[in-house]
Amino acid sequence: MDFSAIFQAIWQFWYLIPVLIFITFIKTPFFKGIMGEWLVNIAAKIFLDKNTYHLLKNITLPTENGTTQIDHIIVSVYGVFVIETKNMKGRIYGKPNQATWTQKIFRHSSKFQNPLRQNYKHVKTLQSLLRLKDEQLHSVIVFVGDSTFKKDMPDNVTYARGYIRYIKSKTEVVLSQGEVNEITRKIESGRLKPSFNTNREHVQHVKNIVKEKQNNNSCPKCGADMVLRKAKKGSNAGQEFWGCSRFPQCRGL
């Protein structure tokens, strides 16, 4: 076989290699996450007065059992807005009280953690760090990308174009300017230094949590405990199976 001819043919189209690498990279969850956060950053800088709203991004804070990572925090006299970004496409199904939500792209379905619950930990971590009242904190979920909500969502779950509107809808002053400055200082001084190692350790911490939850045999629909049941009717009568402990409200298997 004439390998020289093959190498020559490959060399003629060498410029396609970096193009293919780039196309592969932009399809990764890592890149989508970066783009989502970038869009939120740009919207905040363009549409929010920087003298009133102070933007902090990619905040990793230590917790009792590891770390928690917050995409964006916006501090103002109208409260501390804790923002979780989701870059997703397809149809999004979910309710505030469900443990997991569903993403559907054509006939393919996949589940992901309810972002309201995910952001709840972020809010409580900040509340403990800053000693704030419930009314001084606002949880905000921002979906970017080509996604559509198929269920009515709370006002604080919005698309990128709507999260600025939600923030501006909060007009009651709940913090003084001095408190805003002190909160910003505490977050900056309490955060872990942004670095590759910090991010890697946080990712490993999240993986450990997911693995632990899987081992706990939780319901795939609502997250409640699964219990061993015995079928009473049908062709499977007498056989044991795992079912949701919230049956009949939830029929997860």
More confident residue, 122 or 197: 122
Report yes or no: 226 and 244 within 8 Å, Cβ to Cβ. yes
Site of tokens 């632990």: 212
Sheet of strand 79-87, all strands in order from the earlier edge strand to the far edge: 54-63, 66-76, 79-87, 137-144, 157-159
pLDDT-wise least confident of 61-65, 108-112, 162-166, 217-221:
217-221
SS (H, E, C) 86-106: EECCEEEECCCCCCEEEEEEC
Report yes or no: 198 and 145 within 8 Å, Cβ to Cβ. no
pLDDT single digits (tens) 14-25: 555 665 554 554
Q: What integer pLDDT is reported at residue 173 of this predicted model?
A: 97
pLDDT of 220 over the 50 cut: yes
Tokens of 6: 């093959």
pLDDT of 205 over the 70 cut: no
Average pLDDT over residues 204-223: 53
Task: Indicate the pairing of strand 79-87 with strand 66-76.
Answer: antiparallel
Q: For the chain, give the percent of residues with pLDDT over 70.
A: 64
pLDDT single digits (tens) 140-169: 999 988 888 987 899 999 988 789 999 999
Q: What integer pLDDT is reported at residue 91 of this predicted model?
A: 92
Report yes or no: 86 and 141 within 8 Å, Cβ to Cβ. yes
Q: What integer pLDDT is reported at residue 177 of this predicted model?
A: 95
Q: What integer pLDDT is reported at residue 203 of this predicted model?
A: 47
How many residues are listed for the chain in this entry? 253
Taking the C-alpha atoms of residue 52 and residue 59, their distance in angstroms, rounded to an integer, is 20
Q: What integer pLDDT is reported at residue 206 of this predicted model?
A: 43
Taking the C-alpha atoms of residue 37 and residue 43, their distance in angstroms, rounded to an integer, is 10
Give the mean pLDDT of the chain: 78
Taking the C-alpha atoms of residue 161 and residue 151, their distance in angstroms, rounded to an integer, is 18
Residue type, 144: V
Residue type, 38: W
Residue 72 pLDDT grade (very low, low, confident, very high; cuts 50, 70, 90): very high
Give the DSSP letter of residue 68: E
Q: Where are the domains of the chain?
A: 17-215, 218-253
Q: What integer pLDDT is reported at residue 196 of this predicted model?
A: 47
pLDDT of 27 over the 60 cut: no
Cα torsion at 222, 224, 228, 234 (round to 10°)?
-20
Taking the C-alpha atoms of residue 6 and residue 13, their distance in angstroms, rounded to an integer, is 11
- Half-sphere exposure of 155 toward its Cβ, with a 13 Å CA cutoff? 8
pLDDT of 202 over the 70 cut: no
Taking the C-alpha atoms of residue 172 and residue 23, their distance in angstroms, rounded to an integer, is 46
